[in-house]
Structure 1
Amino acid sequence: MPIEVGIWKVNGGIKKVDFSVIESERKLEDILSKDLSILSDDLLLIGRQVQTEYGKYLDMLAIDGEGNLHIIELKKNRAPREVVAQALDYASWVQNLSYDQVLRIYEDKNNCPLEEAFAEKFDDSLPDKLNDTHQITIVSSQLDSETERIINYLSNNYDVPINAVFFRYFEEGEQLFLTRSWLLDPNVIDEKSSNTKVENKKEKWNKQDFVVNFEDKASRKWEDAVKYGFISAGGGRWYSRTLNQLFVGARIFCMIPKSGYVGIGTVIETVKPIKDVTFKVNETDVKMSDLNLKATNMFHDVEDLEKCEYVVKVKWSANVSKEEAYWVKGLKANQNSAYKLRSQYTIDKVLEFFELNTDE
C-alpha cells in the first residue's frame, strides 16, 4: 500500500485539512499539463487525449530525456481493475509508434517541432532512437485492492513497467493543495521498462546526408577548407576513421563544435592521408604541402598513418565564416568527426539558413 498523506494546518490552532474529491479527470489533467514535474522532472508532455488507431483516447502521452514514452492514465476517484486492462491496451499501441509518428503526434498537438521542445526541456538534442522502451502510470485518488494486486503481480513477476501514483486533493478556503505518493518505487520501474523489438524507432536516414565536425585549430583552419574545398580530421584513428563513410556524391553539413553549422557541400573525392592529396591550382596538380595554408600544424605526424591528418575533398554549395555559424536548440550534434544525419529537422533548418532548397 502507498503511504497515506495527511495535511494539518498548524497556525492559529491545529486543524486537519480534509481530503476533497477532485471535480473531474479533466481538472486533474489540466493541473498535470501545466506542470508535469508533479509526476517527474524528467518528462515532457507530448499531448493530451491522444487518439489511438483503435479509436480510443489515451489521457496523456509524455517522453523522457532518454527518448522513451510514458503512458499516463487518469482516474479522478478509485481506479478499478479495468483501468489496468485499458492502460495495457494503450501500451500495445504505443510500443509500435515509429520515430516519425512520435514527431507527428507532438507537432499536431503543439504546433511546433518536438526537436525544439525537447532541446528546451532537456538542454540536449532529440535522440536518434525514440520509444525504445515505455512505461505505464495510472493516476488516481484511490486504488482498489484488486487493482493493486494486479499491478504488483505484473511488475514483480513479469517485469511489466507499470506503476500507480495517488493524488490527494485538498481545499482550505481559496487555497488548493495536491499531494502525491507512489505505489511502487519509480526507480525500480525504470529498470523494468520493456525493450521492444520494432525496428522503426530510429528516424530514417536518406542515404545521402552526413554531419562533419570540423575542429578549427592549428592542425586545420576553416578558411583553408573553404578556399581549397575540403574537410579533414586527424590525431588518431578514432577521429579520422569515420571519414571513411563519406562517398563521392554524399552531402555534408559541416559544423564547427561549440559554434554551429558553417557549410554545406558535396564530396568529390574520398578520404586520403594528407600526404597523398593534391589540388588543382591554375590547372596544375599541387600537393597540399605546397599550398599557402593558414593552418600552422596541418602536417603533424605526416608519415604516421595512425595519427596524421586525413582529407576529404568537397565542393561547397554554401558556407559562412566561423563567426557567422548557425545554431539553434534542437539541431543535431555528435562527437564523431562524421556521422549519418538522420534528423530531417536539422536538414530543413540548416538548408533554410543557407537559402538552399532540398534539391541542392
Structure 2
Amino acid sequence: MKVNIAEHQAERVPPQKLVDFECAEKDLQKVLFNSLDRLLPDEELLVIAQSRQWQEEPDILALDDQGRLFIFELKKWESRSENILQVLRYGQLFGRKAYEELDRRFRQFRPDQQSLVDAHAATFGHRLPESKFNETQVFVVVTNGLDFTTREAVRYWRGKGVDVRPWIYRAYKDPNSRREHFLLEMQRFSVNDNPYEDLTSTGFFVVNTNYRNSREDHKDMLKNHIAAAFNDPWKFKIERLTRQSTVFLYQSGKGIVAIGRVAGGVQKADHRGKSDYKFYVHLDKFARIKPPISAAEVNDLTGRQYSFQGTLFEMDTEAAEIVSRAARQRSRISAAGLETER
C-alpha cells in the first residue's frame, strides 16, 4: 500500500510478473539460492540436501523437529500448472525414502557432519528414533502472487488432505531504479509464526558457538574472540554483522557465554579441508560472562520467547539492552566499554 498521510488515503500498488522486468525464472532461482540464509529459519528446519545439476530431485530437502520432510521446489515457471505436479512428483520419489537414504544424502551434503540423527538432535535438542524420520511430508512450491493457477491447485490439493503450501513472492516496480531493477516482496518461510521478526534492532545479534556440532569451533570463538558460522548457506549469516554490531555468543545448553563488538569486516577461512567454509568477524571489547545467561533467563528478563536453536538471530533493541545490562553485571564491564555508538 502507498499511503498519503496528508489526505488519509491508501492506494494499493499492483504487483507485476517477472517478464515485465526482463527477469527469467532461473535468475530468480539464483537469487533465492543465494539468500537461503535469510529465507529459511535454521532454528525450525535442518537442511539436509540441495539439488545437484541434471538430477531429478527437489531444490531443497529439510527436516523439522518432528522429522517431517519438507520438499521445496524453487524451479518456478509463472502460470504453469506443472509447478504443483513437479513438487508432488518429488513427494512420490522421496516419500518412500527410509532413514538410511536420508542419512546418505545428508552426509553427501554435509561431509563434515556426524550422522543425520545426531545432527538433528544437536539442532533441536531432542533425539528422534530413526523410524520417525520422513513419516510425513510437507510440499512447498514458490509462486508469484499473480499466479492464480498454481494457487488454485495448491488449494485443491490441500482440500484433499495433502500438506502443500505456497511460498509467495510479489514483484513491484522500483520508481527510483532502472527497468532491470525491481522490488521483491518475499516473507521468510516459517513453520511457526515468529512474533519478533518485525521488531526493530540497531545491531544486536546472538551467534551460536556450534558447541553441539563441534567443541573445537566453540573453543575457537572464545579463545580468538570471533563470531563465526560454517558451511553453506549458514556461513552467509555472518555477513549481517557489520562494524559496531554487538554480538552475544551463545553456547547450546549453557547460555550466553560472551559478549563483544564487531571490529571489522567479514573474513573467510578454510574449515575441515574445505575452502572458504568458515566466515567470521573479529570482536573487540570482548568479555566472558560467568555464569552464563541461560536461554530461559534471557526470555524471562526480556519477556520474549526467543528460540536459540539457529545459527544467528537478531535481537530487538529493547531486549538486547536488558541482556547487555545483565552481561555487564556478571562480567564487570563498564557501561562505556560495551555500549555502541548508535
Q: TM-score range by the shorter chain?
A: 0.3 to 0.5
TM-score, normalised with respect to structure 2: 0.42
Larger radius of gyration: 1
TM-score between the two structures when normalised by the length of structure 1? 0.40
